[in-house]
Amino acid sequence: MKEKINVMITEEEISKRILEVADRINKDYEGRELILICVLKGGVMFMCDLAKRLNLDVRLDFMSVSSYGAETKSSGVVKIIKDLDNSIEGRDVLIVEDIIDSGNTLAYLLDILEKRGPKSIKLCTLLDKPSRREKDVVVDYVCFEIEDKFVLGYGLDYDQRYRNLPYIGVMEFLE
């Protein structure tokens, strides 16, 4: 089966919106140190571009969690594959996600991280699909709210492919 990718959000739109969100974060955390926690792998490009636009004392850390295994639907069982390298106790934390849909994995992750005693913990996402939400998670910074479509590019993948696209696309399967 062949695939066609239609552009949903251009590289220019992404860059402009990240700058707007970074300006809000700069104001909200002015004069404070901020730890950005990237949820691997999809959030890497977004976090790097966001971090470059922050005028703050920023630290970067990474986590990898999975609830999918080899399936395309969440199994509901969340596994931490890679944990943080540093303590977040007493620190301001911003979780940086590529996309939030059901919220199940993120709710689990927030619960784990809140037990580690951060001063504050907020959430920033490139893409939000609120129509798919099953768990009530508060998203503090959203770049784009999108409809329920399978998207890829700019860090998001299909079978580990297409992460390197500079835009967000919608995949269409051709026969």
pLDDT in tens, 107-133: 989 999 999 999 999 999 999 999 989
Domain membership of residue 72 (yes or no) is yes
pLDDT of 44: 96
pLDDT tens, residue by residue, 10-67: 999 999 999 999 999 999 999 999 999 998 999 999 999 999 999 999 999 999 987 6
Q: What whole-number distance in Å separates Cα of residue 23 and Cα of residue 167? A: 21
Q: What whole-number distance in Å separates Cα of residue 62 and Cα of residue 96? A: 9
Q: Write down the catalytic residue from 101, 128, 157, 159.
A: 101
Q: What are phi and psi of 153, to 5 degrees?
A: 95, 165
pTM value surpassing 0.75:
yes
pLDDT of 72: 44
Q: What are phi and psi of 21, to 5 degrees?
A: -70, -40
Residue 88: CATH number of its domain: 3.40.50.2020
Between 149 and 1, the higher pLDDT residue: 149
Give the chain's mean pLDDT: 92
Q: What whole-number distance in Å separates Cα of residue 80 and Cα of residue 12? A: 34
Domain membership of residue 36 (yes or no) is yes
pLDDT of 174: 82
Domain membership of residue 155 (yes or no) is no
String of DSSP letters for 36-79: EEEEETTTHHHHHHHHHT--SEEEEEEEEEES-TTSSS--S--E
Count of domains forming the chain:
1
The HSE-up count of residue 94 (CA atoms within 13 Å, CB side) is 30
Domain membership of residue 130 (yes or no) is yes
Domain membership of residue 156 (yes or no) is no
Domain membership of residue 81 (yes or no) is yes
Q: What does the radius of gyration of the chain's CA atoms come to, in whole angstroms?
A: 16
Q: What whole-number distance in Å separates Cα of residue 172 and Cα of residue 24? A: 35
In this model, does residue 68 exceed pLDDT 60?
A: no
Domain membership of residue 119 (yes or no) is yes
Domain membership of residue 5 (yes or no) is no
Which pLDDT band, with edges at 50, 70 and 90, does 76 fall under? low
Between 78 and 43, the higher pLDDT residue: 43
Structural domain boundaries enclosing 29: 11-148
Instruction: For CA atoms 18, 167, 7, 94, give the dihedral sign.
Output: negative
Is 111 among the residues known to form the active site? Answer: no
The closest of 61, 59, 57 to 44, measured between CA atoms, is 61
